[in-house]
Each structure stands twice: as structure tokens, then as C-alpha cells.
A = this chain, B = another copy of it.
């Protein structure tokens, strides 16, 4: 990678402030920037670093106004985070992609794949699978029988996809993801013993889903567990059987969604969130880290915190007084004492 500030600004439809002929050869984080690199400032928490960074060129939002003079060259754009994403996508697209079928992989004969398949060493594709064009299956991936994988999807090392599951186009499944393991269903046989409820459904990932490392999506008891188009799920997340997640919902790490929950579109969940089974969450709901949703959330766009959840403003107010509880208790004790005095009954 070797570009001038001017070339980059043109690609980003941005404006150069400083030396347009500066050449950059790599990217860097603003707090670790080195000469000859391009950095960006999007999160205001990092603003201080723009005055000390070693980076030669920094992409900033259009409305950025430096408080001191800057030695470096700026590129002003509408959205600095978007801009760096576009640049990195360009950089990535120039890297060679994995291709070819490793001689130590196995695809059973009844399965088929489109053009430009990459099948890594020790990857396994079972019977009757249908794999699209330009799919990349890394080493040690396991694709069970009757699985469908759409075009351009990437299945990283050691992903396991159980039989009959369906992966859309342009999906990315990171290493260790498990799709389609049995949902957690047991019928108490007597009060002492459990009978397994076979899970005869499957999992469907729609297009453009990305799943983080070691995340697990269980197959439905009947029907399908459905992950909507454009959903992004972080690492170590549990999605139980028969859950349905709406389009473009984003879920951070270590969250657990219990069976048959229905999550709306464009929701956001922080890390370690829990969602109770059989609940319905409206669209655009935001749930803060470590919160526990124990019932339906009917109001679109609600922002929640706490376990069980409350509107975030209410939770924060209550928590202010939780911190002060010992002093509130003392004040109550003093009031009681004064009342007794006023009543002339001071025992």
C-alpha cells in the first residue's frame, strides 16, 4: 500500500488540509501512530491523541476543529469511521484470497460446489450439500449432510455446521462457531429424570450474517431458528432453539438468548445480556451490558438496563440511590428518633 494524501482524499471524497503530496504506506491507530502512516479520529475519547500522534495523515470528521495548531495533514470527510472502513476494505480486497481444494480435504461425492471453492486441509463436507460460488471453507471445518451454503460465504477454521442447516450469501462464520447443535429440550419423565426431546428443525442464516468465534446457534425443535439478514453477532454468544432475530440486529459477546425469543430488527445488545425464553423484543430496542430481559419489550426503540431490565434512565437514577442506601437508612433511623422525641415517647 502506497498512496498520497490527495489520492486517499479523492477516493473518500474528502478534503486535504496540509500537504496533499504526503505518501503513506500503512495504517495505524492514532495513539500508536508512526510517521508514514495514515490514522483516523472518530471516537471523541481519542481527540487528545491528535496533538501527539506520530501519524502523518489523519482522517477526521468534517466538523473537527483543532484546539491547537497541528503539524500533520488532515483529511476531512463526512464520517471518519465509515471512511477508514472503506479504505481498509480496499486494502483487504487487494490481498490474495485462498483458493483451491487441498488434497487432504474431503467432500462426499453427492455434494456439489460452485466455482472458485476453497476447501482447506482436513475440511469435511458431508453428503448432499449444495455450496455456492466463491465459498471459502477453511481447514477443519465440518459441514454436515444436506447443508446449503450461499455464494461468497466464508467458513473459518473449525466451524461445525450440523445437517440440514442453511447458510445465506455473503455470510462470515468465525472459527469455532457451531450451527445446528440440538436445542436444550428435555421433558421431565418423572420428577427425577429427563427424556430428550429430539430437535428435528434446523438453523437458517439469511444473507450477510457475521458470527463471532465460538458462538453457538442451536437448531429448532421444529421449524427453524432464524438469524435475519445483516445480523452481526460477536464471540461466545448463545442463541437457543427457535429464536428468531430480525434484520441488522447487533449482539455483543457472551450474550444468551433463550428458546423461542423473537428479537426485532435493528436492535442492539451489549455484552453478557440475557433474554428470557418466549419473549418478544420490539424493533430498535437497545439493551445495555449485563442486563436481563425477563418479559416482552413492546416499545420500539426502548433503551434498557438492569436485571430485570428497566428504562435506562430509571435504572441509573435508582442506582444513584442504591449507592446511597446506607445513608438513606441512617436518615430514616434519625427521623424515627426525632418522631419519638416529638411524640414525647423516647424509649
Contact = CB atoms under 8 A, between A and B. Distances in A.
Interface of A: 27-29, 32, 43, 45, 79, 81-82, 84-86, 88-89, 91-92, 102, 104, 106, 120-122, 124, 138-140, 142, 144, 156-158, 160, 162, 172, 174-176, 178, 181-182, 184-187, 189, 191-198, 200, 210, 212-214, 216, 218, 220-223, 230, 232, 234-236, 238, 240, 242, 247-248, 250, 252-254, 256, 258, 266, 271-272, 274, 276, 278, 289-290, 292, 294, 307-308, 310, 314, 317-326, 328-329, 331-332, 335-336, 338-339, 342-343
Contact of A29 (B81, B162, B223): B223
A339 B342 CA distance: 9
List the 9 closest A-B pairs by CB distance, nearest first.
A321-B325, A178-B213, A181-B213, A160-B175, A88-B198, A142-B157, A238-B253, A174-B181, A213-B216
Nearest to A80: B187
Nearest to A81: B187
A280 to B, nearest CB: 10
Given A194-B248, A214-B216, 7 more contacts: A29-B223, A81-B187, A82-B195, A178-B213, A194-B232, A254-B256, A328-B329
A289 B276 contact: yes
A323 B322 CA distance: 10
21 contacts: A32-B223, A84-B197, A88-B200, A89-B198, A102-B106, A106-B121, A122-B124, A139-B142, A140-B158, A140-B160, A158-B160, A174-B181, A176-B178, A193-B248, A214-B214, A238-B271, A258-B289, A314-B326, A324-B329, A328-B328, A342-B342
A250 B160 CA distance: 25
Number of copies: 3
Nearest to A333: B331
Given A120-B124, A124-B139, A332-B328, A274 B248 contact: no
B238 A254 contact: yes
A274 to B, nearest CB: 5
Contacts of A232: 184, 186, 194
Given A272-B274, A326-B317, A331-B332, A184 B158 contact: no
Given A218-B235, A319-B308, A240 B256 contact: no
Nearest to A242: B29
A234 B200 contact: no
